[in-house]
Amino acid sequence: MSPEVRRAAEILKRGGLVGFPTETVYGLGADASSAQAVSRLYAAKRRPVDHPVIVHFADSDLAFCWARDVPEAAKKLAAKFWPGPLTLILKKSAKAGDFVTGGQDTVGLRVPSHQVAQKLLRAFGGGIAAPSANRFGQLSPTTAAHVREDLGKDVELVLDGGPSEVGIESTIVDLSGGEPVLLRPGRISAADLEAVLGSPVLAKQIDSPRHSGGLERHYAPRTPARLVPTHELDQEIARLKDKVAVLAFSRPDERVDYWLRMPREPQAYAQKLYAVLRELDSAQCEIILIEAPPEAPEWAGVRDRLERATG
């Protein structure tokens, strides 16, 4: 084990906070069984205390100890997608304190695949509570540098595992009720889940358990941002008198001060998304125009984050 990972595990054991890479985004980790450590985590994130946090484990056996009821559907999804970018919401066991569940009767569980996350989880042994390592409501970090920029001295150590491969947060499925409900789309799509379950996955209902990613404006840059359909982009640019930044599929337009071009493939787009939004946010423009991605199902995760960023 690397000395850095050992140090990170020691920090967690004494109630401190550690930034670490996962395949989706960087997490800010705390000992999930310590109320004090988790309250420090919420303070660093400036996150309201009634929002539940995902608990990470090295494998599914450890994860399922935190659930009192593990339905067949959860076992199937875990067998197929763990370790990987999927979070399961299950009825909590006594191990999951109110301070990680936001007082709800359910808990969010995830087994990440990133090698550094895996090593940290093995070295630590228990569950690591980890929201994305940014301040509440802002863009998730996909590099170690993003974490340091966002959290500064509030995080003792940041493990560097390179840029996150998926780039957007894990898919969240609620299996605590009768039917599986998709709470947050991600790299793993509703169709991927349905293929494994052999039954439909419902879209999010209004009365689903509270989750902070469900707030309308979330994952958002500070600069006002707007989604624009492809056929309106040109006239929008012509109409605006402000200094404009654009995120688009097509080539740069010379009227625009700051233009970033995005891949036409959804996984490549997702991987870059938060880094480019950070870049556009720091370009000191008055507005960010974002060309709307296709309506196709494989774009659901990206569309969801863009809708929130422009909420």
Please report, as residue ranges, which positions from 178 to 197 form the binding site for ligand TXA (by CB under 6 A). 183
* Cα atoms in the Cβ-side hemisphere of radius 13 Å centred on 9: 18
**Rg of the chain (C-alpha set):** 19
Are residues 117 and 62 in contact, defined by beta-carbon separation less than 8 angstroms? no
Q: Which of 24, 104, 132, 171 binds Mg ion (CB under 5 A)?
A: 132
Give yes or no for residue 51 binding ligand TXA (CB under 6 A).
yes
Q: Which of 33, 34, 60, 87 binds ligand TXA (CB under 6 A)?
A: 87
- Min dist CB 172 to Mg ion, Å, is 11
Within 49-202, where are the H helices?
60-64, 72-81, 98-101, 115-124, 144-151, 190-197
Give yes or no for residue 106 binding ligand TXA (CB under 6 A).
yes
- Min dist CB 147 to Mg ion, Å, is 12
- Min dist CB 87 to ligand TXA, Å, is 5
Q: Which of 169, 192, 281, 291 binds ligand TXA (CB under 6 A)?
A: 169
Give 109 or 123: the residue with its C-beta nearer to ligand TXA: 109
How far, in Å, are 9, 233, 251 from residue 286 at the CA level? Answer: 43, 16, 21
Nearest Cα residue to 185 out of 300, 307, 88: 300
Of ligand TXA, Mg ion, none, which one sits near residue 89, judging by CB under 5 to 8 A according to partner kind? ligand TXA
Please report, as residue ranges, which positions from 54 to 73 form the binding site for ligand TXA (by CB under 6 A). 54
Give yes or no for residue 172 binding ligand TXA (CB under 6 A).
yes
- Min dist CB 112 to ligand TXA, Å, is 6
Give yes or no for residue 87 binding Mg ion (CB under 5 A).
no
Counted residue by residue, the chain has a size of 311
Nearest Cα residue to 248 out of 236, 260, 235, 257: 260
For residue 36, which phi and psi values (nearest 5 degrees)? -65, -45
At 167, list the tokens: 């780039």
* Cα atoms in the Cβ-side hemisphere of radius 13 Å centred on 228: 23
- Min dist CB 111 to ligand TXA, Å, is 10
- Min dist CB 258 to ligand TXA, Å, is 28
20 CB-contact burial (10 Å; exposed 0-12 / middle 13-18 / buried 19+)? buried
- Min dist CB 107 to Mg ion, Å, is 17
For residue 110, which phi and psi values (nearest 5 degrees)? -150, 145
Q: Name the 3-class secondary structure at 127.
A: coil
Nearest Cα residue to 121 out of 9, 23, 16, 245: 9
- Helix, strand and coil content of the chain, in percent to the nearest 5, comes to 35, 20, 45
Of ligand TXA, Mg ion, none, which one sits near residue 29, judging by CB under 5 to 8 A according to partner kind? none
Site string for ligand TXA, 202-221 (x = CB under 6 A): -------x-xxx--------
Size of the site for Mg ion (CB under 5 A): 1
Give yes or no for residue 41 binding ligand TXA (CB under 6 A).
no
Applying CB under 5 A, the residues found at the interface with Mg ion are 132
Applying CB under 6 A, the residues found at the interface with ligand TXA are 22, 24-25, 27, 51-54, 87, 89, 101, 104, 106-108, 110, 112, 130-132, 169-170, 172, 183, 209, 211-213
